[in-house]
Amino acid sequence: MTLAGQAAEAAEVASVQNPPGITGKRRNKIKTGESRLAFMLVAPTVALLGLIVGYPIVKAVYNSFLSDTQKINPTTGRFDPAGAWTGLTNYKHWLLQQCPSGAGKVVSCPTGNLGAEFWNSISVTVGFTVVTVILETVIGMGFALMMNRAFKGRALVRAAILIPWAIPTAVTAKLWAVVFDPEGILNKLLGTHFAWTSSQWPARAAIVIADVWKTTPFIALLILAGLQGISADIYESAKVDGANGWQRFSRITLPLVKPALAVAVIFRTLDVLRMYDLPAILTGGANGTSTVSILVVKQLHSGVYSASALSTVTFVFIFAIALGMVRLFNANIVGSPGKGGK
């Protein structure tokens, strides 16, 4: 483009951005009016979100500092009712495995206290998360690659793969409870009479199998969406250059599908960290399958304020993991353009 052409293009852009007859003062007034209108349109939604989401969070954090039981006030010598300010006591019970002794000193609580239950639930939840997300990602990638290929009956295969994800989790749990029953289908096929959910590791394996069966299609669907955006010309060029199947997968497919894969893994990780209904229905949280969410619901029946502290700790724990995963995948989910997502 010549210098004259560039000058004409710049003049045209300037005329569009700054129409003739509109002074700077009037232009600022228009922008101010647009900003005010935008704020008025967004304000009801922000207020509604603050009421529905913000208030329960603030209320739960406040309740976490209150006591569930009566205690003697050292100043008045009288019993303070439940709901009195207790500071960090609830958090100490959950995190430090400590409780106040009769002499007013802090000592280690016996085995089976709140802290022990919490850390055991954390280990179970993290274990479920790591195992299920890895299996679902690997299997989901295989399903996505298969569904992305052109073959006869592809639509039927896609529908069949997505069926488990469409089934409600409660129904899935009852379905697999029948499969793992001592008189169930699995024992009939194997010729055994084994109670799969009656001991620790078989019960955990049963939950992992059920969860992988149900939610692998979710990851496969997100990865498939990423694969659909890769042009076939890239693969053809790689074939011409002599790249084999593994090289095309590792150097073309994986880098280009990374944004979709990152979203799938992050979503599934957060979902498993909040897992409740599947183990609650399949095993009742027994035999080493109690997740953090099951512990929160259990604690609600014995202490609302202590459960609020546990919920707050769980929220911070999941939020920290989510933030770490966003940084790990370098996903440009938050932040200004140009930072991350490279």
The per-residue pLDDT string of the chain (342 residues; one tens digit each, 9 = 90 and over) reads 554 555 455 555 455 455 555 555 666 666 677 778 888 888 888 888 888 888 888 888 888 888 766 555 556 555 556 567 777 888 888 887 544 444 444 444 444 467 788 888 999 999 999 999 999 999 999 999 988 887 787 788 888 888 898 899 999 999 999 899 888 888 888 888 888 888 889 999 999 999 999 999 999 999 998 898 888 888 888 888 888 888 888 888 888 898 889 889 999 999 999 999 999 999 888 888 999 999 988 888 877 788 888 888 988 999 899 888 888 877 544 444 444 444
Decide the pairing of beta strands 71-72 and 79-80. Answer: antiparallel
Nearest to 180 by CA among 208, 218, 144: 208
Q: What is the pTM of this model?
A: 0.75
287 token code pair = 């035999």
Nearest to 211 by CA among 261, 157, 269, 258: 269
Q: How far apart are CA 320 and CA 317, in angstroms?
A: 5
Q: How far apart are CA 87 and CA 95, in angstroms?
A: 14
Give pLDDT, residue 103: 41
DSSP three-state, residue 189: helix
Q: Is-contact 130 148, C-beta < 8 A?
A: no
Which amino acid does the sequence have at 294?
I
124 token code pair = 């179970």
Q: Is-contact 226 259, C-beta < 8 A?
A: yes
